[in-house]
Amino acid sequence: MSKMTSRNFFKNVCDLPYGQTHRDRAALYSSCKDSKELLQRMRLSKALGVHEGCVNTLCWNSRGDCILSGSDDQRLVITNCFLNKIVAEQKTVHRANIFSAKYLVDNDDSIVVSCSGEGLILVTDMTRKDQAGQRSIFKCHYGTTYNVQTVPGDCNTFLSCGEDGTVRFFDLRQRSSCLQSSCSEDVILSWEGAVTTMAVNQMRPYQLAVGCSDSTVRLFDRRNLITKSAGGKPDDGFRKSALCSFTAPDLENALYRVTSLKFSPNGDDMLVSYSADYLYLFNIQEITASAQSYNSNGTSTRKLSSKSAPPIKRLRLRGDWSDTGPNARPESEEQIAQVRPTLQATLMQRMTDVLARMLNDPATRLALGGVSENAGRVDTRRDNEPGRELNVSLPNPERVSPLPSSSTAGPSTSGERDSTSEDFLESDDEKAVNEEVGLHLSRTDVLTPQAKQKYVGHRNARTMIKEASFWGENYIMSGSDCGHVFVWDKHSAELVMLLEADKHVVNSLQPHPHLPLLATSGIDYDIKLWSPMAEMPFFDSVEAERLMVRNKIMLQETRDTITVPASFMIRMLACLNQIRRGTRPLARQRRQASDLS
């Protein structure tokens, strides 16, 4: 920010003893986050080691003294950050990684709603020490549940979204639990692909933004969305009930997952983060106004083109985080530096070479003849995503059985269909839900306004969770696969600060609701707190430029990479070997027949 903003901050500090009104405090809180000098003084304040696994979700309470966290260890923990003390903790009945957890408002910060990789949603009373505190259990989602959102001013309702392509609205006054899988009672939105994230406008709580795996963000008025349990009925008119649908200008014909949605503090802008791409800022007011004329004629401004999946260029073993963190380097730099490869990398490279030679062998291609262009394609999931299976679409007459589930996978690239959506479309339960729900999201009804700003330099590809957020009114921040937090000027998109916050990946970041205090988490097992503790502002722009260039190269490398378990590689090679052996006698017979003729 300008020097004027900095002077305003110190002026507010000096004037605070003379004016203790809410307006005086609000002016101080706003100016301290809009001060570039304070931002560049941010340093690590403390690390809270309260988990035994990756920390995937963070949420401050309304007072700002405690933070809620959920982890791969299936535990929910509330920690007083100023006293460095655990206030409450609960070992949940989640059987997979906890992806999202929020406080239910107006409940004295004791009631928490959470979701996880196996699709389970829990409402937990954190004051209870035993599992009896988990008073509500919902098994409605089929597959991974990515996100839960609470409604401002309402302690009885919340929303959820997941891999089954549904957005659900739960009212605890109507139903306290549901153990039926693929239940349609609480569905308000349905789509054929994964619904990966969502956000509720805090200034206009009736506005709901939904991010999907087709690069599209859709904005709805929740007052028009009615569940079946509340008396709603299927209606074709619901198909056009979205206020607007939009995607980034560079991604009109791409299928990139939306990993994070965030409304600005004033509710007018929306920050959208894409996997395998960058951050974009949209003005919601302009988009909503443009959508009125768009919806009136019912025509579409773009249609997604279907492209065949790119060939396998590089494979990565599950659990290999060598391309993440501050010390990660592109393959080109490692070759120039003559870095000695690890044993795991060497074995993987050899297996990849063998697999590539087998796929390009004429005998194998003969066996693959007459099959779809997607033969040999591997459907995988994001890193940190549990509970789903890798499916190999091989062209042999006998379909290969699903492989064991993997917690790591590579990114879905442009034109590549979402990995798990194909499996869900084959489910009879899921078809029944989609047919019974009143609203089905359309992939072609997309409005494509110009984004206000694009923020580049970070890397978002290795994990499904990569949060981005606003820092006050004038700054944007995001986690990165290089282990840093990137902070940009909201208006100019200039990078103004870097924080090295994780040894591998920064997934979650949550600014304090009032103070210039930032909480971050990721692959490391702790929660890091950052505050303006340095004596002088500091930002190394030269090193930041190097990191941005490095991330750009590695982002492209990651787009051409898929992550698989070792068992997959072994079975893939064995299957291809069987195909080649089966075609050799046939090829020999054809050659003999041609010689006789």
Which residues on neighbouring strands pair with residue 48, listed in sequence order? Answer: 527
Report the pLDDT value the prediction gives residue 438, as an integer from 0 to 100: 45
Answer for the pair 419, 381: CB distance below 8 angstroms, yes or no: yes
Q: Is 594 helix (H, G, I), strand (E, B) or coil?
A: helix
- For the chain, which residues score pLDDT lower than 50? 1-7, 234-238, 293-310, 336-339, 370-438, 443-444, 446
Answer for the pair 122, 100: CB distance below 8 angstroms, yes or no: no
- Identify whether 130 is part of a domain: no
- Identify whether 587 is part of a domain: yes
Report the pLDDT value the prediction gives residue 402, as an integer from 0 to 100: 30
- Identify whether 17 is part of a domain: yes
- CA angle at 323 for the pair 566 and 402, rounded to the nearest 5°: 30
Tokens 């003379």 correspond to what residue? 18
The first and second tokens of residue 115, run together, are 């979701």
- Identify whether 390 is part of a domain: yes
- Report pLDDT digits (tens) over 319-342: 778 889 999 988 777 554 444 555
Answer for the pair 497, 503: CB distance below 8 angstroms, yes or no: no
The C-alpha R_g of the chain, in whole angstroms, comes to 25
- Identify whether 233 is part of a domain: no
Run of H or E including 476: strand 475-478
Report the pLDDT value the prediction gives residue 365, as an integer from 0 to 100: 58
221-249 burial code (b ≥16 CB/10 A, e <16): ebeebbbbbeebeeeeebeebbbbbbbbe
Report the pLDDT value the prediction gives residue 236, as an integer from 0 to 100: 37
| HEC secondary structure over 14-53 | HHHHHCCCHHHHHHHHHHHHCCHHHHCCEEEEEEECCCCC
Task: Spell out the residues 6+ positions from residue 276 whose beta carbon is closer than 8 angstroms to its own.
Answer: 256, 257, 411, 412, 413, 414, 460, 461, 555, 558, 559
> DSSP string of 64-103?
SSEEEEEETTSEEEEEETTTTEEEEEEE-S--S-EEEEEE
Q: Are strands 121-125 and 111-116 parallel, antiparallel or unpaired?
A: antiparallel
- φ, ψ for residue 481, nearest 5 deg: -70, -10
φ/ψ bin of 74: left (φ > 0), alpha (ψ from -120 to 50), beta (otherwise): left
Q: Measured between alpha carbons, how far is 446 from 246 in angstroms, rounded to an integer?
A: 5
Count helices and strands (H / E) in the chain.
Answer: 11, 32
Answer for the pair 91, 84: CB distance below 8 angstroms, yes or no: no
- Identify whether 548 is part of a domain: no
The first and second tokens of residue 124, run together, are 């937990």
Q: Is 273 helix (H, G, I), strand (E, B) or coil?
A: strand
Task: Spell out the residues 6+ positions from residue 148 whose beta carbon is closer than 8 angstroms to its own.
Answer: 100, 101, 102, 113, 114, 115, 121, 158, 159, 160
Domain count, the chain: 2
Question: Both ends of the chain: CA-CA distance in Å?
Answer: 83
Report the pLDDT value the prediction gives residue 23, as an integer from 0 to 100: 64
CB atoms < 10 A from the CB of 310, how many? 14
Residue 293 DSSP label: H
* Positions of E strands within 111-246: 111-116, 121-125, 134-138, 145-151, 154-162, 166-171, 187-190, 195-200, 207-212, 217-221, 242-246
Answer for the pair 520, 537: CB distance below 8 angstroms, yes or no: no
For the chain, how are helix, strand and coil distributed in percent, rounded to 5? Answer: 25, 30, 45
- φ, ψ for residue 101, nearest 5 deg: -150, 135
Report the pLDDT value the prediction gives residue 588, as an integer from 0 to 100: 62
- φ, ψ for residue 579, nearest 5 deg: -65, -45
Q: Measured between alpha carbons, how far is 189 from 440 in angstroms, rounded to an integer?
A: 6
Report the pLDDT value the prediction gives residue 349, as an integer from 0 to 100: 61
Report the pLDDT value the prediction gives residue 284, as an integer from 0 to 100: 85
- Identify whether 336 is part of a domain: yes
Answer for the pair 509, 478: CB distance below 8 angstroms, yes or no: yes
- Segments forming the whole domain that contains residue 589: 314-411+555-596
Q: Is 444 helix (H, G, I), strand (E, B) or coil?
A: coil
Answer for the pair 384, 54: CB distance below 8 angstroms, yes or no: yes
The first and second tokens of residue 325, run together, are 């963190």
> What letter represents residue 48's amino acid?
L
- Identify whether 299 is part of a domain: no
- Report pLDDT digits (tens) over 41-80: 999 999 999 999 999 999 999 889 999 999 999 999 999 9
Report the pLDDT value the prediction gives residue 484, as an integer from 0 to 100: 97
> What letter represents residue 508's amino acid?
S
